[in-house]
A = this chain, B = another copy of it.
Amino acid sequence: MDPDALAKAFVEHYYSTFDTNRNNLANLYQEGSMLSFEGQKIQGSHNIVAKLTSLPFQQCQHSITTVDSQPSGVNAAMLVFVSGNLQLAGEQHALKFSQMFHLIPTPQGSYYVLNDIFRLNYA
């Protein structure tokens, strides 16, 4: 698969899973995975999903504006850089965000998230 198409497919999968069932994101992280969420550093699949499921909103919808990808220089790993809007249920205005993922291939032919950094882009 073309790397840009693969990055877009991953992004669609990640955010549709986030928006419908955050617990299922556990499959996309491993014990060595790292999330920086608004500057807070969290390590390991269990802790990352605990953080994401404890966010102070029940429903949200990510809409993606841009997806950029590059090979990260090791074993077909990829860097994916996303910008978009996050709409929270009941809120009138969407929040702009940027996020980057470092995706590492798994032996099963899929990818997992080793590095994940998320920031809201405040107006």
List the interface of chain A (C-beta within 8 A of B).
32, 34, 36, 39, 41, 65-66, 68, 70-75, 77, 79, 81, 83, 96, 98, 100, 102, 104, 114-115, 117, 119, 121-123
Contact = CB atoms under 8 A, between A and B. Distances in A.
Q: What's the dominant secondary structure at chain A's contact region?
A: strand
B102 A119 contact: no
A73 B115 contact: yes
Contacts of A83: 98, 119, 121
In the assembly, how many copies of this chain are there?
2
B104 A73 contact: yes
A100 B102 CA distance: 11
Contacts of A36: 68, 70, 81
Contact of A119 (B71, B81, B115): B81
Contact of A114 (B73, B81, B122): B73
